Amino acid sequence: MAVKQAIILAGGLGTRLRSAVPDLPKCMAPVCGKPFLHYVIRYFHQQGIEKFIFSLGYKHEMIEEYLDKELPAANYVSSIEEEPLGTGGAIKLACSRATGKTVLVLNGDTLFKVNVSKLTAFHDLHRAECTLSLKPMNNFDRYGVVELSPDHSIKDFCEKTYYKSGLINGGVYALDHSKFVSANLPEKFSFEKDYLEKLYARRKIFGVAQDEYFIDIGIPEDYERAQLEMKNEP
C-alpha cells in the first residue's frame, strides 16, 4: 500500500551547526539560497508523499512562517512540543496526527533519497512494525553500524568507531504508527536508543539497504558540502 504521509522531525536545536548557522533551526539552514527543508519536502513530495506532519519545537514559529508560504494548508499540519520530548516522544506526539496504517518518518536536516515505494513494499510484505532505510558507507567513524540477519531483521546496533565499510541508519523509517504508539513507551524518550536499540529483538523491526544520495547537514563540514552538491537542485 502506497504511503502518503510523512512525519518530518524539525525540532532540533542545531548546536553542532551553530558556528556556521547561528540562531536557526537546523532544517532552516540556507543551502544555495533556500532552507535545507525545501529540498527534503520537494524530494519526498516527488516520491508520492501528499501530507506532511512537521514535528516542531525550537523556534517553531520561524518554520511555520516558512511553511505557510511554501505549502498549501491542506498539505501539512504541525505537531509542536511544548517541552523537549526526545526524538521518540516527538514521533509519538506526531503520530496522533497520522492516518492510514503506515507513516514515513524522516529528519528535516538529512536528505536520503530512498525509493519510498521499495521501502514500503518491503515493510508491508514483512508486516513490520518499523523498517529502517540503511545507507552503505565506507571509511567512516561518525556513525554506528546496523547489522542485519539473513531475513533483514535487525541483528545488532554497533557503536560509533572507525569502520572500513558498513550500513548506517539513514534516518528514514516506515512506521506502523498504531503499533508504535501502543508499545507502552514513556512520554520522553529517544527513538534510536530507547525504541530501536532496546526493543529490536522483541519487535518486528527490519532494515533495507539503499545506496542512494545521502547528506546530513548536522556538522559544519557536511553543511559546506551541501552547498556544493545541491547547487543544481531546483
According to the model, what pLDDT value does residue 24 have? 78
Band of the pLDDT at 19, cuts 50, 70, 90?
A: low
Rg (CA), the chain: 17
Run of H or E residues at 222: helix 220-229
Domain contains 80: yes
According to the model, what pLDDT value does residue 73 have? 84
Q: How far, in Å, CA of 68 to CA of 78, rounded?
A: 11
Domain that holds residue 77: 5-229
Looking at residue 181, the DSSP 8-state letter turns out to be H
Domain contains 60: yes
Residues in the chain: 234
Q: Which of 13, 3, 36, 2 is nearest to 90 (CA)?
A: 13
Q: How far, in Å, CA of 17 to CA of 22, rounded?
A: 7
Domain contains 234: no
Domain contains 169: yes
**Residue 26: pLDDT over 90:** no
Band of the pLDDT at 39, cuts 50, 70, 90?
A: very high
Here the CATH number for the domain that contains residue 122 is 3.90.550.10
Residues 86-143 have pLDDT tens digits of 999 999 999 999 998 999 999 999 999 999 999 999 999 999 999 999 999 999 999 9
Band of the pLDDT at 14, cuts 50, 70, 90?
A: low
Domain count, the chain: 1
Domain contains 190: yes
**Is residue 201 classed exposed, middle or buried when 0-12, 13-18 and 19+ CB atoms within 10 A define those classes?**
exposed
Residues 138-156 have pLDDT tens digits of 999 999 999 999 999 999 9
Domain contains 89: yes
